[in-house]
């Protein structure tokens, strides 16, 4: 239901209750004269209920903030109601009729006292009945008035709460609208920022790719330069060897020249001619550089740039080589330590194996050299001795059966002993194999842990690893030794 429909229904209900009250009042007036007295009392004491504080609620009143509201007294009071004025006129007419009846009764009283007494009794009975009905009607009327008052007060409170709710809703709607506007503005800003960030990321990715490409090119150049440097070093060594051989040949020629100066020394004229020819050839080659001095300057600048690039590349290559040498040295130390630990453990395991083999051989020798060596001859001798002692005939069937049973049991006992010794050998070997498998698994597990830790330490602390390498190796050794000791204790338990 809408708010307007609700209040219209409420007003209709109030009007209907008002009409019912008026109808009841008319019935009361028509029945008895006492009702006129009650109405007079109500007229005199109409302000007893004091309905001035209550208000009829309508849509217009809620819109105009209850300025044009009416008092309930205007609806309920008898003095100001138009319909009650009509009731008064009816009462006045009835009073005239009653006065006539009184005159007639006075005339009838003159006729005889007995008839008057009977009429008075009938009138008293009728008046009591009507008085009871009137009292019940008055109570109903008062209860209806109370219900009307309570409903109006409740509706007023509900209307106030509804108005407060609408005000609260309007405020919240305004706040939500403002928030939505702000959210739209912020979303636009964030979208712009996202677009800018995507552009920046694309630019950074491009720059990163360019840098990676440059690094790859530099690495390739460094590799090529290293190859060229190695080639140049080889060529230099070859040339140095040739220079040494030429120096030796020169010394030999100088010795020969010192012995035959007069014969072999050329004349000064020939020397001058050779020098002139060399100068002519040099002058021809240097004419172009003498004419254009800028060519010489450009060549020198190019040579300087190439020289500087070579110096930078060689420095970078040396730095990289130093790093790789350090890594190799660290790895060599680690592997040497691991190899030493493995050798120690292998020696320990071999010692344990030797001890077990010695024990097995010892027990075998003890069983072989024992006094109670079991053989068939000993058994037969003992059987014969028992028979002689007990004076049994060996050839009887019963005794032979018993002896056969004993022989079978003894034979089975011997076979079980031999099997037991053979099975123990296999069990020893199997135990040793299982122990080696467990040891290898533990070693693999430890190696994987060491690799993971090395990777983490290398990523987090590249510089600090060089300083604290020895300390970490000692800790790892101690941890491994503790692990191996615990593992071996668990095995030998």
pLDDT digit string (tens) for the chain, length 493 residues: 555 666 666 667 667 776 776 776 666 666 555 545 544 544 444 433 333 333 333 334 434 433 334 443 444 343 444 555 655 565 566 556 555 555 555 555 544 455 556 666 666 666 666 666 667 777 777 777 777 777 777 788 778 888 888 888 888 888 988 888 888 888 888 888 888 888 888 888 888 888 888 888 888 887 887 787 778 778 778 777 777 777 776 676 666 556 544 444 445 555 556 555 655 555 555 555 556 666 767 777 777 777 777 787 877 888 888 888 888 888 888 888 888 888 888 888 888 778 877 877 777 777 666 554 555 566 666 666 665 655 545 455 666 677 677 777 777 777 776 666 666 666 666 767 777 778 778 877 887 787 778 777 777 776 665 555 555 556 656 655 665 565 555 544 4
153, 186, 219 - which closes a domain:
186
Boundary of a domain, candidates 186, 216, 236: 186
Residues 368, 466 share a domain: no
Same structural domain for residues 367 and 386? Answer: no
Within-domain flag for 227: no
Check residue 155 and give its pLDDT. 81
The values of phi and psi at residue 439, to 5°, are: -60, -45
Domain that holds residue 307: 266-373
* Structural domain total, the chain: 3
Tokens found for residue 385: 């001795």
Q: Within a 10 A sphere around the Cβ of 25, how many other Cβ atoms?
A: 21
In a domain, 106, yes or no: yes
**Are residues 314 and 424 located together in one domain of the fold?**
no
pLDDT attached to residue 268: 53
Residue 342 and residue 386 in one domain: no
Residues 35 and 29 sit within 8 Å (Cβ to Cβ): yes
Query: 42 in a domain, yes or no?
Result: yes
Q: What is the pLDDT of residue 57?
A: 38
- In this prediction, residue 357 carries a pLDDT of 79
Both 333 and 432 in one domain: the answer is no
Q: Which residues contact 356 (CB under 8 A, 6 or more apart)?
A: 428, 432
Same domain, 40 and 163: yes
**Alpha carbon separation from 335 to 261, 332, 417, 441, 447 (Å, rounded):** 69, 5, 50, 19, 11
From 186, 209, 231, give the residue that closes a domain. Answer: 186
Would 238 be classed as within a structural domain? no
Nearest CA to 59 out of 165, 169, 163, 168 is that of: 163
Q: Provide the 3-class DSSP secondary structure of residue 89.
A: helix
Same domain, 369 and 314: yes
Residue 35, exposed/middle/buried by CB under 10 A (0-12, 13-18, 19+)? buried
Q: Are residues 420 and 484 in the same domain?
A: yes
Cα–Cα distances (Å) from 50 to 61, 71, 149, in that order, read 22, 10, 11
pLDDT at 387: 59
Residues 126 and 31 in one domain: yes
Element housing 18 (H / E): helix 3-31
In a domain, 158, yes or no: yes
Burial class (CB in 10 A: 0-12, 13-18, 19+), 54: buried
> Same structural domain for residues 323 and 469?
no
Output the pLDDT for position 203. Answer: 83
> What is the model's pLDDT at position 271?
54
Q: Token digits for 212?
A: 């990676």
Q: How far is CA 179 from CA 169, 194, 288, 490, in A?
A: 15, 22, 83, 70
Q: Is residue 100 part of a domain?
A: yes
Same domain, 309 and 436: no
Pick left, alpha or beta for residue 391 (phi over 0 → left; psi -120 to 50 → alpha; otherwise beta). Answer: left
Same domain, 402 and 462: yes
């Amino acid at each position: 239901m809408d708010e307007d429909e609700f209040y219209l229904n409420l007003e209709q209900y109030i009007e209907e209750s008002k009409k019912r009250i008026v109808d009841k009042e008319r019935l009361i007036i028509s029945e008895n004269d006492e009702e006129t007295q009650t109405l007079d009392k109500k007229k005199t004491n109409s302000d007893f209920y004091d309905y001035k504080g209550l208000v009829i609620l309508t849509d217009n009143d809620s819109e105009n903030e209850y300025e044009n509201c009416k008092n309930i007294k205007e609806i309920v009071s008898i003095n100001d109601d138009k319909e009650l004025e009509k009731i008064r006129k009816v009462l006045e007419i009835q009073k005239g009729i009653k006065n006539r009846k009184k005159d007639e009764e006075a005339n009838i009283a003159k006729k005889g006292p007995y008839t008057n007494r009977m009429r008075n009794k009938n009138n008293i009975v009728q008046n009591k009945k009507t008085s009871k009905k009137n009292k019940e009607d008055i109570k109903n009327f008062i209860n209806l008035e109370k219900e009307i008052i309570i409903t109006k007060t409740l509706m007023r409170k509900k209307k106030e709460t509804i108005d407060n709710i609408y005000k609260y809703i309007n405020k919240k709607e305004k706040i939500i609208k403002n928030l939505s506007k702000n959210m739209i503005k912020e979303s636009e800003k964030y979208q712009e920022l996202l677009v800018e960030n995507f552009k920046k990321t694309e630019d950074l990715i491009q720059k990163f790719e360019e840098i990676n490409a440059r690094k790859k090119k530099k690495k390739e150049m460094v590799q090529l330069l290293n190859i060229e440097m190695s080639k140049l070093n080889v060529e230099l060594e070859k040339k140095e060897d040739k220079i040494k051989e030429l120096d030796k040949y020169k010394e030999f020629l100088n010795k020969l020249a010192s012995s035959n100066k007069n014969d072999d020394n050329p004349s000064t004229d020939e020397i001058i001619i050779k020098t002139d020819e060399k100068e002519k050839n040099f002058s021809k080659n240097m004419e172009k550089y003498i004419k254009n001095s800028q060519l010489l300057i450009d060549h020198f600048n190019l040579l300087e740039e190439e020289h500087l690039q070579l110096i930078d590349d060689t420095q970078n290559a040396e730095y990289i080589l130093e790093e790789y040498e350090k890594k190799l040295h660290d790895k060599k130390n680690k592997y040497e330590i691991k190899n030493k630990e493995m050798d120690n453990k292998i020696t320990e395991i071999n010692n344990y194996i030797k001890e077990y083999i010695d024990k097995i051989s010892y027990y075998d020798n003890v069983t072989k050299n024992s006094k109670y060596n079991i053989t068939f001859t000993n058994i037969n001798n003992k059987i014969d001795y028992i028979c002689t002692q007990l004076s049994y005939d060996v050839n009887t069937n019963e005794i032979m059966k018993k002896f056969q049973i004993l022989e079978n049991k003894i034979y089975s006992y011997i076979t079980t002993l031999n099997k037991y010794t053979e099975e123990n050998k296999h069990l020893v070997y199997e135990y040793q194999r299982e122990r080696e498998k467990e040891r290898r698994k533990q070693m693999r597990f430890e190696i994987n842990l060491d690799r993971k830790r090395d990777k983490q330490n290398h990523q987090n602390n590249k510089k600090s690893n060089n300083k604290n390498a020895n300390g970490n190796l000692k800790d790892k050794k101690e941890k491994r030794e503790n692990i191996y000791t615990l593992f071996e204790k668990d095995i030998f338990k």
